[in-house]
Structure 1
Amino acid sequence: MSFYLTAIIKSTPGNAEQLKAILKTLVSGSKSEAACLQYDLHQAQEDPNLFIFHEEWTSKEDWDLHNVTPHIKKFAADAATILDGAPIIHITKRAG
């Protein structure tokens, strides 16, 4: 059964473009994982510092493995000084 989540990430003011570049690299690495079924990045129109991921993984276990990949570790290191708080993760399910 698929595992779904939404991740909300915010940059500090003035760092949206830098964070977007880091996140695009993260998208590329994540989509290359066999267990990744969906990894869509969105940027809020009303707040350009706010980024939202909609993700689908083959299982929670595979998502757990994703969280220790080199591209996740690189994201954490590269974005550490420009994040406005920790990412917020919502585990979800399809409503329909």
Structure 2
Amino acid sequence: MSSPLTIVALVQAKPGHETALVAAQAALVPLARAQAGCLSYELHESMDRPGRVVFFERWLDRASWERHMRGPHMDAFRADAGPLIGAFELLHLRQVA
């Protein structure tokens, strides 16, 4: 059996698009949480840098996360809000302690 997958996504909005990007990201939260295999899905915004957000996600396994990433809600997000993203980093993590 595989272990849970933790995802940390670090995102910075392009200048002038902070509010729109954060709103689009927030709309993803209930959709992701409703998916099979989602253990937790949280969005946090920096208090010092508007438009700098961190997603903390925990998935039952990699397959669950991959289904989420291929879902129509993610396709729509990438089409609509993808151009608002200035910087993006994705970490795939496993808990070691």
Q: TM-score, normalised by structure 2?
A: 0.90
Q: One-letter code of the match for 2:51?
A: N
CA distance in 2, matches of 1:29, 1:77: 16
Query: Would you identify which runs of 4 or more consecutive aligned residues in structure 1 move more than 4 Å?
Result: none
What's the CA shift string for 1:44-66, capped at 9, x where partnerless?
11111211000000001111111
Partner of residue 92, structure 1: 93
Q: One-letter code of the match for 1:75?
A: F
Contact 2:11 2:85 in 1 (8 A): yes
Q: One-letter code of the match for 1:70?
A: P
CA distance in 1, matches of 2:79, 2:61: 26
Structure 2: runs of 5+ lacking an equivalent? none
Could you tell me the percent identity over the aligned residues? 26
Query: Is residue 46 of structure 1 aligned with residue 39 of structure 2?
Result: no
Report the Cα offset of residue 81 of structure 1.
Answer: 2.1
SS of equivalent to 2:83: coil
Partner of residue 13, structure 1: 15
Which structure shows the bigger proportion of residues in helix conformation? 2
Partner of residue 35, structure 1: 37
Query: Is residue 83 of structure 1 aligned with residue 79 of structure 2?
Result: no
Q: TM-score, normalised by structure 1?
A: 0.91
CA distance in 2, matches of 1:51, 1:79: 14
CA distance in 2, matches of 1:59, 1:76: 23
Structure 1: runs of 5+ lacking an equivalent? none
Which structure shows the bigger proportion of residues in strand conformation? 2
What's the CA shift string for 1:34-87, capped at 9, x where partnerless?
2110100000111112110000000011111111001111110111221103x3
CA distance in 2, matches of 1:62, 1:34: 7
Q: One-letter code of the match for 1:40?
A: E
- Equivalent residues in 2 for 1:62-81, closer than 5 Å: 62-81=64-83
